[in-house]
Amino acid sequence: MARRLVDRAPTMPTIATTHRPPMDMRLALYRLAAAHRLDAEATRRLEHLAGLHDAPAALAPRLQRGVAVLGAALVGLGLVFWVAAHWDTLGRFGRFALIEGVVLAMCAGALWRPAARAPLGLLALLAIGGLFAHFGQTYQTGADAWQLFALWAALALPLCLGVRSDVLWAPWALVVLTALSLWVQAHTGHRWRVEPDDLWVHLAGWGGAWAVVGALDARWRPVTGAGVWSQRTALTLAVGVVTLTALGGLFHEHVGTHYPLGLAVLAAAAAWQASARGFDLYGLSAAALAIDGLLVAGLTRALFDRHDGRDPIGTLLLLGLAAAALLAATVAFVLRRARAQRAMEGRT
């Protein structure tokens, strides 16, 4: 009976997994083997016929691309470090010629070899950053650091639009968010401070961060070519910027306006990510986690501000229970919203 079952196995995985993901297929095969009491050899043959031990079809090209991207990143960083190590040996003209030559060569190579466009473009992007760093070190123009990062992002933008890959858009988002953070720092007395008088500067920084998130959204993908990883990179950085600024406002001498505004901005982001039109499980989870962290931090300040010197064990216990309950409610909401979105997509 077991042999006859194995002989019919080529059609059985297809039937069992028509509407199942790969992990469910493995579990279905194990249940099938247990139900028909297949021995070890028959079970292995069934797994072989189902293709469970085969390498993923897209593994080889993805691995090659990943190694190429990693190599480009290492070469780009190595170029910057090599120039720094030979600062006095190369001379001013030699340093500029080397870095500019790498930028031009990588851009030409990306144009000539479409298959290697992403790693070559990444190397060109890193070399552009090295060029501006070298310019700032050589001439000491007195420009703020945010200006160099802003110029880096501006000059790399055509390159990103030409390559149309997350390999470039993700680091580009990091460069832009770094420029915005340094701009905020430059306009708050060159200190990482959160004061009531600095509210509008921080709001401008928040607006710029979320503008980058919107620019890398899937709706603009036909124009930018940006994928999910670059959008998530920008989203993670934007959530981090808002959360850290809100925490600074919370732990100021008097709770600043930054704290409730930060909660409001994150709540709006979470509402959009939870909506049917803009649903994204990662974005919803990131915003919800940030909101939980801010709420727990606010509860911590409220409890310890009223602490009258008694044993804090009860306060810490209450804080832990509240944090656990909040996290459990958040996870339940996210899972429920994900199931509802999946069911709606299944109906359509």
d(CA 228, CA 190): 34
pLDDT of residue 15 exceeding 50: no
173-192 pLDDT, tens digit each? 999 999 999 999 999 888 88
Record the pTM. Answer: 0.79
237-256 pLDDT, tens digit each? 999 999 999 999 998 777 78
Provide the sign of the torsion angle of the four alpha carbons 207, 210, 216, 222, taken in this order.
negative
pLDDT of residue 198 exceeding 70: yes
300-328 pLDDT, tens digit each? 988 887 766 666 788 888 899 999 999 99
| Token output for 109 | 């190579």
Least Cα distance to 167 among 110, 108, 83 occurs for 110
CA distances from 302 to 257, 305, 317 (A): 16, 5, 15
Angle between helices 145-163 and 87-112 (to 10 degrees): 30
Provide the sign of the torsion angle of the four alpha carbons 161, 163, 166, 169, taken in this order.
negative
pLDDT of residue 141 exceeding 90: no
